[in-house]
Structure 1
């Protein structure tokens, strides 16, 4: 099953990325949170532009874009949009794009925990600074199920599992590199 292999293939870098984000810290400040949103915007903007080309809007990516929620959150918190953008992972084709989308969609699952923490810690909700982490709201489960089914079908039909794995790994590595570049920490 492709999802099991994706999880195993990316678990180390995924863990490192999570450690770089202070989102579940009990003492999370609004300033720290805004810096995370700015970093995510800087990463998602070029990556989603690439995904729009590789996975046309009529297909799986169209209803899964999260960039507007990042814009909404930054504006709700009185911030402008960051100018600095990450170097996107170089995705070579549709199969690698599916791997990248696995990373972005998987983040919506963790976003459920994060959004509850943001509400408790900072008083932020979907309409007031936490839309990105609330993502699909009560539709996270069904959206994940639909994505999982589509990914499994694509992997089986295309025979492109190595490319899907590579796309997921490259996406996590690019995100980690972007976070390191923004903080200057190794």
Structure 2
């Protein structure tokens, strides 16, 4: 129930964000891909740090879901310096666990889309998880299991604790912050 509500509630935001992530272009250049990874770093690195400071229920296995290390590795493999992703997005306000779970919904949903992106990046640039595309291929063969596990945990949390409106707010705020960040980085000088 909560997953369906989240999808319906954030559909328009999801579509706007997806349109801003210019990684499915054909042809896709290495420079475009590097810029997308830099933008993702500016959002994911501080956001995952913020989430790690919250007391998320263990059932969500947040540490196993973090993608910052994969993103940093991709950036390093592709020759981006430490300062190349120094800019940080304005993060969504996540003042409750329920808000954070809405945020995780957005990040986990992006991971589902990452599989399609990873295939495209491999076809276009011959990049694999081993040589620069680990972030988008993050869960590998366990993607389906990780998504089902997340959905079950979220449904269980909502059934036990309520807070559906805060979960929806957290997702909406995360999509909004990501959209603002991507619009900013899209127009930023190279």
Query: Which TM-score band (shorter chain)?
Result: over 0.9
Structure 1: tracts of 5 or more residues without a match: none
- Cα distance, 1:123 vs structure 2: 0.4
In the alignment, what sits opposite 2:15? Answer: 15
Say if 2:56 and 2:97, in contact at 8 Å, map to a contact too: no
In the alignment, what sits opposite 1:77? Answer: 78
Classify the secondary structure of the residue corresponding to 1:138. Answer: helix
Instruction: Give me the whole-angstrom Cα distance separating, in 2, the residues matched to 1:88 and 1:144.
Output: 24
Judge which range, 48-57 or 84-93, deviates more: 48-57
In the alignment, what sits opposite 2:53? Answer: 53
In the alignment, what sits opposite 1:62? Answer: 63
Structure 2: tracts of 5 or more residues without a match: none
Instruction: Give me the whole-angstrom Cα distance separating, in 1, the residues matched to 2:4 and 2:58.
Output: 27
User: How many residues align structurally?
Assistant: 185
- Cα distance, 1:177 vs structure 2: 0.2
Calculate the aligned-residue CA RMSD, in Å.
1.3
Say if 1:57 and 1:63, in contact at 8 Å, map to a contact too: no
Say if 2:99 and 2:171, in contact at 8 Å, map to a contact too: yes
Instruction: Give me the whole-angstrom Cα distance separating, in 1, the residues matched to 2:92 and 2:99.
Output: 10
Residue by residue, what CA displacement relative to the aligned partner does 1:116-145 show, whole Å, maximum 9, x if unpaired?
100100000001000000011000000101
In the alignment, what sits opposite 1:97? Answer: 100
Judge which range, 54-63 or 169-178, deviates more: 54-63
Instruction: Give me the whole-angstrom Cα distance separating, in 2, the residues matched to 1:57 and 1:67.
Output: 20
Say if 1:55 and 1:97, in contact at 8 Å, map to a contact too: no
Task: Give TM-score scaled by structure 2 length.
Answer: 0.94
Instruction: Give me the whole-angstrom Cα distance separating, in 1, the residues matched to 2:2 and 2:11.
Output: 14
Distance 1:7 1:90, change over 3 A: same
Say if 1:24 and 1:117, in contact at 8 Å, map to a contact too: yes
In the alignment, what sits opposite 1:161? Answer: 164
Q: Superposition pairs for residues 35-184 of structure 1, below 5 Å? A: 35-56=35-56, 58-60=58-60, 61-81=62-82, 82-184=85-187
